[in-house]
Structure 1
Amino acid sequence: MTRQSDIAAIAIGRNEGDRLVRCLASLVSVAGRVVYVDSGSTDGSLNAAREAGAEVVMLDTSVPFTAARARNAGLDHLAKNAQPAFVQFVDGDCELDPDWLPKARRFLDSHPSVAVACGRRRERFPDATIWNQLIDYEWDTPVGEARACGGDALMRWQPLQDLGGYNPRLIAGEEPELCVRLRAAGWKIWRLDAEMTLHDAAMTRFSQWWKRAARAGHAWAEGAALHGAAPERHAVAPTRRALIWGLVLPLVALLPAPWWPWSLLILTAYPLQILRLSRKMGFLRACFLTLGRFPEAQGVLTYVFNRFRGRRSGLIEYK
C-alpha cells in the first residue's frame, strides 16, 4: 500500500480503547504523518498512539475540551514542520478505508475548486442495536456537491490555514460551520461515491440517543446564531423544525380551556408526520426522526439559556 507523503492525518479522541488502535493502524500505512490529539484519556490511549507510530498532542486540561479545539491543535502541530498539501481528519472511533485516500486525492487534484472531499461513513455494527442502525442511516447522505461535511474528511491545507481552522468555541457542529466559511471564500465541498470510514458508535441505550439528538439541536442553534442571516441561513431550518415540533406544538396542545379539546387535535400532527415520512424512509426512521424533535428542542433551549446567562455550554457527550 502506497503512503501519501504529502497527506497528513489528524485523529482525535478520548478513551477510545481498541477503537483508537484500529483507527491509527488504518492511518499510519497510508498517510505521510499521523497526529493523535488526546482530550484527557485515562485508558492508555497515549501509549497506544505512540506504539502505533503517531505523533501525540495532549490538550491542556484546564481549558474546556471541544473537538474543534482538538483538530486545531493537530493543525498547529503540523504547522511546526513541513506543511502537508492535504489533511485527513478522522475521529478516534473510526477506521479509514484503505482505498479512500488515493481516490479522494485524485478527485481533489482534478477539481481545484474543491476544498473538502468526504465519502461514505458506515457503522461497524449497524445491526447490534437500533441506535447504531439509526446512525448508519444518518451517514447515508447524497453524493455530489454538498453544503457541509462531517468529522471525517480530506481537506486542502491552505484553505484551512487561511480561515484559521475550526471555531474552537463550538461544542458541536464545527464541521458545517467551517464549511460555511469555506463556501463563502469560494471553495466547494464534495461527497464522493466511495467508502471512507467505519464508525463504531457503541450506542446501547435510549439515553445515549437522546443526548446525541440534544447535541444536534444545540449545534443548530449555535450555528444559526453565527451564520443564520441571509443569504446563508445556516441551520435556521432545522432549528425552527426542532422548536415547532419539540416545543411549540406540545405547548399549544396543553393550553387550557377555551381551546381544549380542540387543541388536542394538534397532537394528531405527530402520527400524521410519521406516516408521511414513512413513505420516504420507512417506519422506524420516521418514528425516531419525529421523536428526535424533543431532545433537539432541548438542545436549542440549552444554547439559548446559556447564551442569555453569558455562559458557555459544556460538552454534550453520549458515550
Structure 2
Amino acid sequence: MERSQLGVVVIGRNEGERLRRCLESVCSQADHVVYVDSGSTDGSLALAQGMGVACVELDMTLPFTAARARNAGWRRLLQLAPEIRWIQFVDGDCEVVPGWLTLARTYLVEHPRAAAVCGQRRERHPERSVYNRLCDLEWIKPPGKIPAFGGDVMLRAEVLRASGGYRDDLIAGEEPELCVRLRRAGWEIHALPDDMTLHDANMTRFWQWWRRVVRSGYAYAAGMALHGGAPERHWVRESARTWFWSLGPMALVLVLLPAWGLGSLAILGVYPLQVLRLFLKGEGSWRDRGLQSVFHTLSRFPELVGQCRYLCDRWLRRPTQLIEYK
C-alpha cells in the first residue's frame, strides 16, 4: 500500500515538547503531515516548520474551535496531495504508537463499510495525578462497532469530502456530532483493541478536571440541540442524567423541608448510595473503581454548569467561547 495515500493532521497550541514528540511519531510513519497552529506563543509553529512539516496558521480573529482546526488541516492536506485516501487526526499533546498508521489503513481497506477506525488512547503518565488516571480509564473503548470516536482517529478522505467534515461552530463534542451524520449516511465506526496514541493530559489540579467536565456538559447540550430528536436522540439521556442527579435531590429537599425540617437533608444520602452502586457495578482495581464512582457522581455538577452556559449563550445569542482546562 502506498504511503503517499496516507496523510496526518496534527492540531495544537502551545504544546512545546509534546508537539515535538507528536510530529516525530507521525513523520516517521507518513509522507504527508500538516500541522494546524491555533495562535501558539511558545514557538510551536517554528518548531513544526523546522521539521519540514506543512503548516497552517488559523485566523485567530475568528472564534477558535478544534473542529475548525481539523477542517483546515484535512482540506490543506488534500490540496497538497489529492491522492490521499486515509487521514489520521491527532492532537498535538499525543504521540502516535509505531505501526498504528499501517494497521489502521489496512483495516479500512479490509472493512469497506467502516468510515473511521480508532484504537486505544492511553495516558502517558497516569500515575502523576488522579485526574490523569481518570483520563486513562475514560479513554478505553470496547473493540468492535462503536457509536463515536474521539479526537484521534483515521477517516476516509472520501467521507470527509462527502460530509463536509466537522462543524466549525462546535467548541466541544464535534467528533460525536460528525459520527451521527456518518451513521445516518450508512457508515460504521470501528474500534480496535490495539494502542493508537499516548496522551499527555498533564492535569494536576481539581479546577482543571472541573473545567474539562464543564466542557462535556456544554457539548451534551449543543449535541442534543442539533440531533436530539428521533431516531438519534443524541445525548438526550446524558443531558437528562445531568439535570436529574444535580438538581433532583436538592429540589426534593426544598419541597419536603417545610414538613420534614432538617430531616429532609437525609435525601442527600442518595449521593453516597450512588457512589456505592457505581463502585459495586464497576470493574478493575478497588482504587480505580473508587475513583470512577466518586468522580462520576461529582461530575453531574460541572456538567450542569456547562449545560446552563450553553443555554445562556443561546438565549443571549452570544458567540461561544472555548472552554480550556490547560
TM-score, length of structure 1 as denominator length: 0.97
Q: How much does 1:14 deviate?
A: 0.3
Q: Which runs of 5+ in 2 are unaligned?
A: 283-288
Q: How much does 1:234 deviate?
A: 0.6
Q: How much does 1:259 deviate?
A: 5.2
Q: 1:3 to 1:11 in 2, by over 3 A?
A: farther
- Aligned pair 1:27/2:26, yes or no? yes
Structure 1 CA distance, aligned partners of 2:2 and 2:94?
19
Structure 1 CA distance, aligned partners of 2:300 and 2:224?
17
Q: How much does 1:284 deviate?
A: 1.6
Counterpart mapping for 1:1-80 below 5 A? 4-80=3-79
| 3-state SS of paired residue (2:258) | coil
Which residue number in structure 2 is paired with residue 228 of structure 1?
228
Q: How much does 1:263 deviate?
A: 3.6
Q: How much does 1:265 deviate?
A: 3.0
Q: Deviations over 1:226-252 (max 9, x none)?
A: 001011001111111111112232233
Q: How much does 1:79 deviate?
A: 2.9
Q: Which runs of 5+ in 1 are unaligned?
A: none
AA at the equivalent of 2:313: N
C-alpha contact (below 8 Å) 2:130/2:291 kept by paired residues: no
Moved >6 Å (runs of 4+): none
C-alpha contact (below 8 Å) 2:246/2:304 kept by paired residues: yes
Structure 1 CA distance, aligned partners of 2:297 and 2:15?
31
Q: Deviations over 1:127-163 (max 9, x none)?
A: 0111100100000121110000000000000111111
Structure 1 CA distance, aligned partners of 2:242 and 2:23?
37
Q: How much does 1:18 deviate?
A: 0.4
Q: How much does 1:5 deviate?
A: 2.0
Which residue number in structure 2 is paired with residue 127 of structure 1?
127
Which residue number in structure 2 is paired with residue 98 of structure 1?
98
User: Identity across aligned pairs (percent)?
Assistant: 53
Equivalent pairs, count: 318
Structure 1 CA distance, aligned partners of 2:17 and 2:182?
34
Structure 1 CA distance, aligned partners of 2:5 and 2:102?
12
Say which structure is richer in helix. Answer: 2
Question: Which deviates the most, 251-260 or 174-183?
Answer: 251-260
Which residue number in structure 1 is paired with residue 279 of structure 2?
278
C-alpha contact (below 8 Å) 2:33/2:77 kept by paired residues: no
- Aligned pair 1:156/2:159, yes or no? no
Structure 1 CA distance, aligned partners of 2:79 and 2:141?
36
C-alpha contact (below 8 Å) 1:3/1:29 kept by paired residues: no
Which residue number in structure 2 is paired with residue 291 of structure 1?
298
AA at the equivalent of 2:316: R
Which residue number in structure 1 is paired with residue 266 of structure 2?
265
Structure 2 CA distance, aligned partners of 1:3 and 1:290?
48
TM-score, length of structure 2 as denominator length: 0.95
Q: Deviations over 1:161-197 (max 9, x none)?
A: 1111100000000000000000000000001011100
AA at the equivalent of 1:141: K
Structure 2 CA distance, aligned partners of 1:245 and 1:90?
34
AA at the equivalent of 2:56: V
Structure 1 CA distance, aligned partners of 2:232 and 2:179?
11
Structure 2 CA distance, aligned partners of 1:110 and 1:15?
38
Q: Deviations over 1:67-105 (max 9, x none)?
A: 000001112212323321010000000000011111111
Structure 1 CA distance, aligned partners of 2:237 and 2:295?
19
Please report the RMSD computed on the Cα atoms of aligned residues, expressed in angstroms.
Answer: 1.3
Structure 1 CA distance, aligned partners of 2:320 and 2:211?
14
Q: 1:296 to 1:112 in 2, by over 3 A?
A: same
Structure 2 CA distance, aligned partners of 1:285 and 1:90?
26
C-alpha contact (below 8 Å) 1:66/1:315 kept by paired residues: yes
C-alpha contact (below 8 Å) 1:246/1:295 kept by paired residues: no
Q: How much does 1:20 deviate?
A: 0.4
Counterpart mapping for 1:168-183 below 5 A? 168-183=168-183
AA at the equivalent of 1:267: L
Structure 2 CA distance, aligned partners of 1:166 and 1:152?
13
Which residue number in structure 2 is paired with residue 302 of structure 1?
309
AA at the equivalent of 2:81: A
Which residue number in structure 2 is paired with residue 314 of structure 1?
321
Structure 1 CA distance, aligned partners of 2:72 and 2:307?
28
| 3-state SS of paired residue (1:80) | helix
Which residue number in structure 2 is paired with residue 253 of structure 1?
253
AA at the equivalent of 1:77: R
| 3-state SS of paired residue (1:151) | coil
C-alpha contact (below 8 Å) 2:116/2:156 kept by paired residues: yes
Structure 1 CA distance, aligned partners of 2:248 and 2:229?
23
- Aligned pair 1:166/2:173, yes or no? no
